[in-house]
Every structure is written in C-alpha cells, then in structure tokens.
A and B are shown apart, each in its own frame.
Chain A
Amino acid sequence: MLIKLKGGRIIDPANGRDEVSDLWIEADRIVAPPSGDTQANETYDVTGMIVMAGAIDIHSHIAGANVNAARLLLPEEHRGTTAAASPTPLANCKWSTFETGCLYAAMGFTTVVEPAVAPHHAIHAHLELADIPIIDKAALAVLGNDDYLLRIIRAKESLSCVSDYVAWTLQATKALGVKVINAGAATAFKFNVRSFSFDDIVPLYGVSSRQIVKTLQQAVSELGVPHPLHVHCNNLGIAGNVDTALTTIAAAGDLPLHLAHLQFYGYGTEGDRGFSSAGARLAEAVNAAKSVTVDVGQVMFGQTVTISSDVLRQFMARHQARPKKWVICDGDSNGFGIVPYKYRMNDFHNAVQFAVGLELFLLINDPWRVYFTTDHPNGAPFTSYPDIFALLMDRELRAEWISKLPADAVAVTTLGGIKRQYTLNEIAIMTRAAPARLLGLNDRGHLREGSRADVAVYRPQRDIAQMFRSAALVFKDGDLVVREGQVAHYRFGRCLTVAPGFDAAINRRMRDYYDNRYAISTDVMMVSEHTMTRPNSFEAVGCVR
C-alpha cells in the first residue's frame, strides 16, 4: 500500500531538510515519490502540519522487576477511572505496559529504551517490554556491580576477557548497550559503605569506581557496540556533586561516554542553604568535552516515584519518601530502590533542580549531544514531555514559570538570564536524529528514503505542549496507529538488540561460574526467542566493527 502525506512541513535535520513537501510511505518504509501517474492508495492532507520522524527516548524506566515493584508499592497512585476504549484493551489500566505504549505513541514516540535491565532479571524485563504495544523497545544491560566483572578486574584479566564477558551479557540479556549505575557502590553498600565516590574502592574486590567505568568504557568501544557506555555517576542528588560529574567527564578521555540524567549531578554548595545550581559550569564542561553525550533528566513538579538501581542512593533518600514507604532490594548485582517522591514548585531544592535541568538544555550548545529525558519516572513521568518542549521553545512561558518559583532558589541559578529558545529543528535533532545516531539505529530518526516509516505529524498551535501531547497522525512501520492523539489499534513492535562476537570459551566459563557460585544453570536466565510470548520479538542492530 502506498501512502502520501501531502503538503506538510518536513523537519528532518539528519538530512538537512526543513521544507514543505510530500512524504511517501510504502509498506514499512519511506519511499521516493513514485514516478508518472502512480496514485497513492491513501492520502492524508497534512498541509500546515509538521512532519517528523517518530521520536526516540533513550532513557525511560518502563519495564522490569523494579518498575513492577513500584507499581505494587503504590496502588493508590494509579487507580483507573474510565472504561476502556474497545480497540485497545487494558490500555486504561493505569501504569500498565499497555497504557505505556499507547501514551508514548500518542505523543509521536516510536522507540523507547529501558535503561536498567539487571542481567538476572532480563527475562522478566523482556516479557514486560514485549507487552508494551506499538513502539519498538530496547534494553540496556546493567554491569559494574556484578561479582564476575569485579573479580576479573581485580585479577587484572585482559581487556578481551572483559569484552567477551560484556558481549556474552549482551547476548544473554538481548540488550542494545551497557549501562553502569554508581559503579561499585551497590556492592560496597552490601559491606555497609554509605557514601561512594569515583575513586573509592569496593571492599573485598579492591577496585575503584573509576576502574570499573573505564574498563567497561573500553570494552564497549572495543566490541564496536554503537551506543557508548551509559553511565549513571556516583553521588546522585547530593549538594556539591558537580565535582563528581566533572571528574567523570574528565575521565572520559577520547572514547565516547554517555552520562545519564545529568541534572541530578548539577548541584553546587553555594548560597545560604548550601545548595545551588552548578548547571552553567556543567554545561560548559560538556561543551568542551566532545566525546561526551548527556541526557538531562529534567524535573517537573508533581507526584512521582523514583525507581533506580542506585541502591545506595535510594537507601540514603528513604527518609524523603512521600508517601512514606519505600523498597530497597539488595539484588544479585545492583538491585534496586523504589522511593516515591513529590516535587513541589514552592520547595527550594526542587525549584533548583528544575532550573538545573533547563540550564543544561539551554546552555549545552550542541543539540546532537544533549538528549531529552526526565529519567522517567525519576524526574517526572514521560507524560510531562510536551510541557518541557514548550518550556524550551518559549522563553515567555519559561519566565512565567520562573516567576512562580521561590526567589531564593532562582537566585542560585542562571536560568532567569537565559534567552535561548529551541527551534523545531533542534527539537527534532534532540528527540529524533541524535538519539538514532547515538544508539546506532540507522533505519530511524530521519525521513530518508528507505528508512523505517515511523512518522509523527503534529498540528502547530499556540499551545506548544498540546501540539506535542496529541499527535495528529502517527505511523509505526507505515501503519497508522494514532489519530488526533488516540490510538486506533494495537500492533506490537520489536526489541532492538546488538550482538557483538565473542570467544565461545566464555560460554563454558560462565556455565562453570554460575554452577560453582550459584548452583544454577545459565540456561534459566538467557533471553531468546523461545522465552518470549510473541514471535519475532527481536531485531539485531549492526556493530561498528
């Protein structure tokens, strides 16, 4: 079937396009305009509308044992209220996988990365991901607090030995990349260590956080995994932690490194309260460090729940839980912590956090290196994205928000003096072109002929947030799935994986290791097509080498 989107403004920064033109779709691909008199089977008049590739979210906690524990902890936060729309059963179950897919699709998102899959829980995470309809998904496997890695670093094994293990883990967990979360700290916490920085040493293993991060960074690079090591730094959320972030940026060296939810590390110790924004300093450092990419983790005001595999941080934050209940799991490697939290506009600290995020967005010059996230749901639920787009694109709206924040909070930030407004082109870079490039997804994030027909069409209006909240049309793989922000029907996307090669000897090593240490077979944890409930659940993405 041939589909024509007629007369829209095509914003496709990957190909340097911002022009009024037609877009043609055939089957699941963008195609060249047909020659001669060939007519479209379906034509959508999108005159005056904005046509972009489907958006890509590189860091959103949407599935897995930790997310599910948060669901069960907070039944009162997600009561259902309205009866189901018949074409999308269970989508009205709040915070269900089905709702998640529908809400993302309604905003024009077509690919989302779950960034914290614990290797031993990978089957669970993938079963949840598979039940998220419409969008494509991907997982990042969490390493860096696991006994095996710490052991081989301690034993000074070769880089190829580490790389084999990383590649084996990627295969076992069907992941697209590797994430390290407060490297070493979750393990140190099991030894009752209560603060942990970049050069601190994990008891028993005698390795530092720096060693773990650098080793994994090299291994990921060596393997040719497109997505650089995805780092959740030490000392999240603590006043003065900008130094940790700056140290980590400096440690990146020439190899690529991605720092997640940087906002949570943008805190200085200035002002009467000893808590201030260091957003400007941090942005400057990112601007200078060309091998570093970051995502923001913007805070928005309201009730949310923090879900993190940074067990130490979550434990230390337990007294801030609102409502007053929390879960801490000392897992096999990282584990997780669930701490519900309410960000309040009239709270000094929360207002500073809000400002730091926007400072990072606005002061990091290169939209190809700063990615759009709220660290869902840690800074805010992903449903708040449209409001953040509006804040970035409209400085008057921003001024209105700033005027409502506590004045002493605004005073320890630079936000009030920033005039920059994002253009639609920059929004498209940050949410489409750049994430596709960062993840190595060549078939999406742009509207080149031959690319995947993931397309979002927005209707420009005064209310920018409303424009992004409710896409006029969304196509996934060429299938019209959303009209005027409403999901028309279910389809199920795939999970994107990467499969670098490795020395097969690691299979035996891992079998022996699991047998000796845990008395379990690695077979019970390996993710494969056979462990999935839907056929063709996975699609492999090529490695760089």
Chain B
Amino acid sequence: MNRAWIGGRSVSLEDAVSQAALVLGRSRQPVVAGLGTDVEGARAAVALAARLSGAVDHMHSTALLRDIDCARQTGVMITTPVEARVRADLLLLVGSDLEKTWPELFATLCLTTATPQDEAIARRLIWICPGRLAHRADFGGKLETLGQEVGQALPLIACLRARVNGRNSNPTGIAAKKIDQLVTLLRSAKFGVAVWTAQQLDDLTIEMLNGLVRDLNAETRFTSLPLAAQDNAAGVLAACGWMTGFPMRTGFGRGFAEHDPWRFDAKRLVESGEADCALWISAYRSVAPDWQVDLPIIALTGESAIFRRPPDVQIEVGRPGVDHASIGYLAKTGTLAAIGAGIDKRTNSVADIIGQIVQFLPDSNAWPC
C-alpha cells in the first residue's frame, strides 16, 4: 500500500490521487520533471504531460543532452559495455568520476580480470585526467595517465587528435615524446574504446573525443562508451524518443511536441515562473528538486525525499526493480532490460499512480498509455 500526504498530512491514497488530479487539471503550464522512473512510468508521464499540454524533463537532462547534442551535430561511434568487455584491447578513460557514475565499470569491462575472449587480450589503459589517481593496483595491464584535473582534458584530447592526424599542435606543455607515445598506442589499438561521463565533461570535450574516435577509424578500429546517467536517464530517453520523436525537454503547449533544451528545462520553467505546477518523479533514489522557488508540487517519490516545504501532494511509489518488476536501462548490457522480473509487487509503481490520477481527468479513455 502506498502512503500519501497532502501538505505533509497523512491521507488515504485515493484522496491524494484525486487531489493530485485536481491540482494538475487546474494547471495551465505544468512540468513533469525528475522522471526518475522505469520505462512504464516514463510512458505514463510523457502521455500525461502531452495531455496536460505541459513539458517533460529529466533530472539528468543537462548531462544527457551534452552527449545527444554532440551526436546530433556531428555523429558518434559507440559500442556496448558487453562488446567493450570482450573485445577492447585499449581503453581510453576520461575524467575522474567514471566509477562514481558507474561503480561496476572496472568489473564489467574486465579491467581487473582476464577477458573472456578465446585469445586473452593484453589490455592497455590510457586514463586522461583521472584526478589524483596515480595507479590502479587492481588493474592487471599497463596504465598510462595524462593530465590530472578534468579541466585539462579538452586541450589534451585536442593535442592527441591533432597528432593522430599528423599535425603538431601542443599548447599543453606536455612533452611531445609523451604525446607521441600515447598516439602510437591509440593508433596501434585493434579495438579501442573511449569511456567518459557527460556528467563531468563539457560539450566541447565530448565533441573532441568523438572526433578523435572518428579520426582513429581511418586506419584502425576505435569506438566509444559514453556512460549513461543514473535514474534510468537512458531508459526514459528511449521511451520519450519513440513516443515523441524527441529527447526530454520537450513541451506540448502548442498541441504538438516541441523540443528545446533551454525552453523546456524544468528548473528554468519553474524558477522563471513559467510553470505553475510540477509533477516531480524520483522513484529510484527519492531525491527532491533543487529549485529555489515554491510552486504547487505533486511528488511521486520514496518517503525520504526532503523538500523545501511539504509538497501539495506526495505519494510514495515503489523502487523499480526492488519493490516491483520493471523495465529499465541496465548499465551492464547497455540496453533496456527486465530488472527485478518476477518479484511480488510491494508498492504501486509510478505508472500505477499516474494511471490512477488520469482516471480523475476527463476523457481518460482516449489516451494511449
């Protein structure tokens, strides 16, 4: 049974749901934000936003859209964690936050053990701007590092890329010999994989990395594995993509889907006063938004989320894959996967609750989700 609160007061689920429908129904410009939910929850949330002529955004859209923006400007070469695990003979890691984004990085990519290929691959590792890290005792192969703080990454990658293309451009002060040595390593990789998280790198650095990977493919094989943000950002992206044609930060105010990363940024919509109501969803980790203003909020989270003030309506939802079976992005496979299949439902999911809210809105039958 889901617990529910109106203005911090404990109420029945039914009262909370009908109050949520009332608040959302009255809203002229709602934003469905957070979107930390499984695929079914995302489908329900996007359909609800369309119906309310609102907008949808995800709490990690800023990072997500960095990778997407670079891809949709110039393209991208990617692979899956599964393929990187069995095939990569060189990993080009960039930034110090990789394991913060994906704690299983080293284990999944077999950096601590032999690869499961027929012929064991001698792994090389180049780590650009790893922070204070000097070596990794748990990595079996040879580790080269370049730079330290992530702010240095762009000129270093640019320098490598220039050298790969036979040009000398080295404003970094790193010895040319070191650059040449790394470039030789990159070019001699049989199947290299660059790994980064857009939560730490900026657009230009990512674009430069994409370019480096592309250029290396003139002669050898190289690809990339941008790590997906948490809270099922990649899974929500998939559903939003097939339902609307666009990533998150898409609005329906004019009766059709419009994508604009600035206009439909939930934080901007809320803090500018354009949005008059928010449906905040955070089912995986129960986080609250970092908005600096108050507006009517319907919150679908775990109980532990701490808001500036109690939301107008708060309904407890289950953790996908823990309290109910779910479909979500699985970092280990890089795909949508069945997570927690077969577990007994302990708490209603985001999709369940949105489904109940919709029942209190008019014309609920016409809606596709």
Interface residues of chain A, those whose CB is within 8 Å of chain B, are 63, 65, 67-68, 71-75, 78-84, 86-90, 92-98, 120-121, 123-124, 127-128, 131, 133, 147, 189-192, 204, 315, 318, 321, 324-332, 335, 489-490, 516-520, 523-526, 530-531, 533
Contact = CB atoms under 8 A, between A and B. Distances in A.
B62 interface: no
B194 to A, nearest CB: 12
A71 B47 CA distance: 18
Interface string B252-291: 0011111100000000000000000000000000000000
Interface string B319-344: 00000010100101101111101100
Given A72-B247, A75-B246, A95-B245, 16 more contacts: A72-B237, A75-B72, A89-B367, A89-B368, A93-B246, A120-B80, A123-B327, A124-B335, A147-B86, A204-B119, A327-B71, A328-B78, A519-B108, A524-B330, A525-B335, A533-B351
A319 to B, nearest CB: 11
A23 B82 CA distance: 54
A124 B238 contact: yes
A63 B242 CA distance: 8
Nearest to A524: B337
Contact of B335 (A86, A123, A490): A123
30 contacts: A65-B238, A65-B335, A73-B71, A75-B246, A80-B258, A82-B255, A86-B363, A87-B366, A89-B47, A89-B366, A89-B368, A92-B255, A92-B257, A93-B243, A93-B245, A96-B243, A120-B82, A131-B243, A131-B369, A147-B86, A190-B87, A330-B77, A330-B78, A330-B223, A332-B80, A520-B332, A523-B338, A524-B339, A530-B338, A531-B327
Interface string B75-99: 1111110110111000000000000
Nearest to B70: A325
Contacts of A81: 256
Contact of B333 (A92, A128, A328, A525): A525
A72 B83 contact: no
A123 B76 CA distance: 24
A362 to B, nearest CB: 36
Contact of B256 (A71, A82, A331, A516): A82
A325 B76 CA distance: 8
Interface in B31-68: 39-40, 43, 47, 50-51, 68
Interface of B: 39-40, 43, 47, 50-51, 68, 71-80, 82-83, 85-87, 108, 116, 118-119, 190-191, 217, 220-221, 223, 237-239, 241-247, 254-259, 325, 327, 330, 332-333, 335-339, 341-342, 351, 363, 366-369
B255 A78 contact: no
- Which of B221, B247, B336, B369 has the most chain A CB atoms inside 10 A of its CB? B336
B74 A325 contact: yes
B336 to A, nearest CB: 4
Nearest to A336: B78
A392 to B, nearest CB: 31
Contacts of B39: 127, 533
Contacts of A93: 243-246, 256-257
A519 B247 CA distance: 31
Nearest to A328: B77
Given A71-B241, A90-B47, A524-B330, A325 B86 contact: no
B336 A204 contact: no
Closest CB pairs A-B (n = 8): A83-B255, A80-B256, A325-B75, A524-B337, A124-B336, A326-B75, A330-B79, A93-B257
Among B75, B242, B332, B338, the one with the most A-chain Cβ atoms within 10 Å of its Cβ is B242
Which of B73, B217, B220, B255 has most A Cβ within 10 Å?
A: B255
Nearest to B86: A517
B356 to A, nearest CB: 16
A74 to B, nearest CB: 7
B241 A531 contact: no
A120 B335 contact: yes
B162 to A, nearest CB: 21
Contacts of B239: 127
A128 B363 CA distance: 24
Contact of B79 (A67, A321, A331): A331
Nearest to B44: A533
B308 to A, nearest CB: 33
Nearest to B237: A72
Nearest to A87: B366
Nearest to B87: A190
Contacts of A74: 72
Nearest to B51: A89
A332 B68 CA distance: 21
Contacts of B241: 68, 71-72
Contacts of B258: 79-80
A204 B259 CA distance: 45
Contacts of B363: 86
Given A124-B336, A204-B118, A331-B83, A533 B244 contact: no
Contacts of B332: 519-520
B247 A120 contact: no
Nearest to A132: B242
B242 A131 contact: yes
A92 B256 contact: yes
Contacts of B51: 89
B324 to A, nearest CB: 11
A105 B118 CA distance: 49
A69 to B, nearest CB: 8
A515 B335 CA distance: 17
Contacts of B76: 327-328
Contacts of A321: 75
Given A93-B243, A95-B245, A127-B39, A86 B366 contact: yes
B85 A518 contact: yes
A490 B75 contact: no
Nearest to A189: B221
A94 B366 contact: no
Given A192-B190, A524-B333, A526-B338, A73 B368 contact: no
A531 B335 contact: no
A326 B43 CA distance: 27
Contacts of A489: 366
A73 B367 contact: no
B238 A68 contact: yes
A86 B366 CA distance: 8
* Most B-side CB within 10 Å, residue of A67, A71, A204, A530: A71
A502 B104 CA distance: 35
Contacts of A82: 255-256
Contact of A96 (B75, B245, B338, B341): B245
